[in-house]
Amino acid sequence: MHPVNDSIGRSTARGFAWLTLEAVGDKLVQLAGQLVLAQMLVPAHFGLLAKALTVTAFINLLQEPGIRIVLIQRGNQFRRWAAPAFWMSISAGIAGGILTLLAAPLAAAIYKTDELIGLLAVLALTAPLRNCGIVPEARLRCDLRFGRIAIIRFVALTATMALTIVLAWLDYGAYSFVIPRPIIAAAESLAYWLLSPVRISFRLRLKRWRFLFSDTGTLFLASLFRQFTWQGDYIILGILHNDIVVGIYYFAFSMSTQAMMLLTNNLSRTLFPALAKMQTDTKRVLRNFLSAIHLLALLGVPACLLQAALAKPIFKIFLNSEYQPAIPVLQILSIGMAFRLTGSAAGSLLQSQGRFGTILVMNIAYAAFFLTAVTIGAIRGGSISVACAVALFYAGMGPVHLYVAIRTCGGQLVDVAQMLIKPWSLGLIAVGLATLATRTLPEITGRDWWCIAVTILGSIAIYCPAIWFCAKDDCRHLLSRLQSVLPQQNQADTVNGD
C-alpha cells in the first residue's frame, strides 16, 4: 500500500471516528432537545420556523456559494486562495444579511404571516458572523484535523439547544429558535480562528475572485436547485396549508433525518477531503468509495428502518396528542431516508473530482421531479401525502445519484445493486420480525417502553449475526478500520494537536 494513501486512509478513518462521536452526541442532544421543546411549544411554532428557514436557505447560497468546497478542492494551494476567499465570504455574508431583511416583508405576504418579519430580522444577523469562520474551518478540513471540528460543532450545537430551551421556557415562542443562532455563529467563528489561525492579507485581491467564481458560480447554481429539493416541500405546504400542518411535517422530517445525517454527514466531511487528495488514482478512489458506501448502507439502512419502527412508542411516551399526527409522517420519511443516505454520500465523490457541471445538471433534474411530486402530494392531501411523495423521490434519487458518481471511475449498475440488496433485505427481516414480536406483548403498564426494548434488542439480535454471515468481509473491514483508529488515537492527537 502506498504510504501517502495509507496515511490518508488512517486520517480519514480517524476523522470519521471523531465526527461520528460528535454526531452521536449531536443527535442525542437534538433528540432530547426536540422532545423537551415539544413540551413547551406547539406545532405552529415549528411551522413558523420552517417558513422562515425556507427564506434563509436560498439566501444562504449567496452567503457561502461553495467557497469552502473550492478551498478544500484546491488544498495544495490554500495560502494562495485564503485571502480572496476570506474577503469574498465576508462580502457574501453581509450581502446575505441585507437580502434577508429585504425579503422579510415579501415572505410575510406570501405566507400571510407577519411574524416572519421579526424572525427573519434576527436570522439576518447570523450570515456575516458565520461566514467569518469559513476559511479557518476549510484549513482544518484540508489538514484532516477533524477532532477540532468535532469539538467546536458539538459545543456549538449543545449551546444552541440549551439557549433555545431557556428561551422557550421564558415563553419566547418561535423566537426561541432564532435568537441563539447569531450568538452561537459568532462564538463558533471565533473558535475556528483561535484553533486554526490563518494569515489574511488586507489586500482584497479582486482579480482572483473571478477564478473562485468560475467554480463557485457553478456550485451556486447547483446549490440553488438543490435547495428546491430541500425546501420545496416546506414552501408548497406553507402556501397551501396552515402553520400546524407545516409544523407537524417539519417536526417529523427533522426527526426522520437523525439516523441518516448521523452517518452521511460525517462520511461526507471526511471522504471529500480524502478523495480530493488521491483523485488521480481512480481505481483506488472507486475501491475506497464503494467500501465506505457499502459500510454506510450496512449501518444506515437498518438504522432508518428501526427509526420508523420506534416512532409510535416514542411519540406516545414523550409527546402530547398535538404531535401524534406526525407518527405516520415520520415512519414514511424514515423509509425514504434509507434510500437517500447512499445517494447523499455520493456527492463527496462528485465534488472531489470537480464534476460541478454534472452536479448542476443532476440537481436541476432532481428539483423538477421533486417539486412536481410534492405539489401533487400537497394538493391531494396534507403532510402524509407529501411525505409519501418525498419518500418515493428519495427511493429513485439515491440509486441514480450513486451510479452517476461511480460511473466515470469504472463503477457499474451491479455495484449499486450490491450496495442495496443485503442491507435492505436483512434490515427488513430483522426490524420486521422484531416489530411483529412487540404485538405479542400484553397490555400492561409501561408497554410502550417494553415495545422499544424488544424492537431494538430484537433487531440487533437478528441483524448482526445475519450480516456477519452474509457480508463477513465487510464486517471484518469495519472492525479493522476501528482497530486502526483506536490504538493510534493518542499519537494522532499529539501530532495533530487535537
* DSSP assignment letter at 486: S
**Under the phi-then-psi rule, with left for phi > 0, alpha for psi from -120 to 50, and beta for the rest, what region is 446?**
left
Amino acid at 468: W
Number of structural domains, the chain? Answer: 1
pLDDT beyond 50 at 497: no
Amino acid at 48: L
CB 70 within 8 A of CB 85: yes
Helix and strand totals (H; E) in the chain = 21, 0
Residues 6+ apart with CB under 8 A from 26: 153, 154, 157, 262
Domain membership flag for residue 489? yes
pLDDT beyond 80 at 381: yes
Give the span between the Cα atoms of 39 and 219, in whole angstroms. Answer: 40
The CB-side HSE value for 195 (13 A sphere, CA atoms) comes to: 26
Q: Torsion angle, CA of 169/174/176/179, rounded to 10 degrees?
A: -160
Domain membership flag for residue 4? no
Domain membership flag for residue 332? yes
pLDDT in tens, 140-172: 776 667 677 778 888 898 999 999 999 999 999
Domain membership flag for residue 2? no
* Nine-digit cell string for 23: 454526531
The mean pLDDT value of the chain amounts to 80
pLDDT of residue 46: 93
Closest among 322, 91, 300 to 209, alpha carbons compared = 91
pLDDT in tens, 66-104: 666 666 655 566 666 677 777 777 888 888 889 999 999
- Strand, coil or helix: what is 11? helix
Mean pLDDT for the stretch of residues 464-480: 76
Domain membership flag for residue 419? yes
pLDDT of residue 11: 52
Domain membership flag for residue 131? yes
Residue-range definition of the domain harbouring residue 349: 10-496
Task: Report the first-to-last Cα separation within the chain, whole angstroms.
Answer: 27
9 to 3, 12, 144, 332: CA distances (angstroms)? 10, 5, 11, 36
Domain membership flag for residue 116? yes
Domain membership flag for residue 5? no
The CB-side HSE value for 413 (13 A sphere, CA atoms) comes to: 1
pLDDT beyond 60 at 209: no
Closest among 173, 162, 181 to 46, alpha carbons compared = 173
Least confident of 92-101, 209-218, 240-249, 311-320: 209-218
